[in-house]
Amino acid sequence: MNIRTRFSISADGYVTTPDGWPSLVADPAFVSGQSHGFPEFQKTLDAVLMGRTTFEPAIGNPRWPWPDLDVFVLASHRPEGAPDDVIVDSDPGRLLEQVRSANRGGDVQLIGGPTTIETFRGLGALDKLGLLVLPVLFGDGMRLTDALSPEAELTFESASPVPGGSVEIVYGIR
């Protein structure tokens, strides 16, 4: 099992637009649940792990973003309306153990903002950092590197083009 993340990032290094929207939604080629290799990526996963802020917009969404995947949420309380099978815990180490116990051999996608990602990287849990570099420039927004520690040692693993003009770069984390 690898725990990996896949950040969408503008060509000038922002993970959100100046208005705070995820960078991916600003890409004209984006189609929710269909583009940028996400359906193929999700087929390699057993579970998703995320913070409450990332999880809450999915509650009540007409299309559940993680069909057939176990969902784990780091939160101080269970978000109202969360499906019964979603695992919620306030302790990142304890939640990580639950993720590992439930794993069936597939990978786990760590989803969220840089602070959530750095929390699990700091526990030594993040194995791969994926960057989906989008062909857009924002000039402002949230940078990936503001919350991620520069102590993370990255090793290049792969780069591949994605339809629509994006490039996915994957790094191993030591």
Residue 148 has a pLDDT of: 67
What average pLDDT does the structure give for the chain? 90
Mean pLDDT of 5-22: 90
The 3-state secondary structure of the chain reads: CCEEEEEEEECCCECECCCCCEHHHHCCCCCCCCCCCHHHHHCCEEEEEEEHHHHHHHCCCCCCCCCCCEEEEECCCCCCCCCCCCEEECCHHHHHHHHHHHCCCCEEEEECCHHHHHHHHHCCCCCEEEEEEECCCCCCCCEHHHCCCCCCCEEEEEEEEECCCEEEEEEEEC
With 70 as the cut, is the pLDDT of residue 150 above it? yes
Mean pLDDT of 138-158: 83
> 31-59: per-residue pLDDT in tens?
877 888 888 888 899 999 999 988 998 89
> 89-123: per-residue pLDDT in tens?
999 999 999 999 999 989 999 988 778 888 998 89
Residue 146 has a pLDDT of: 64
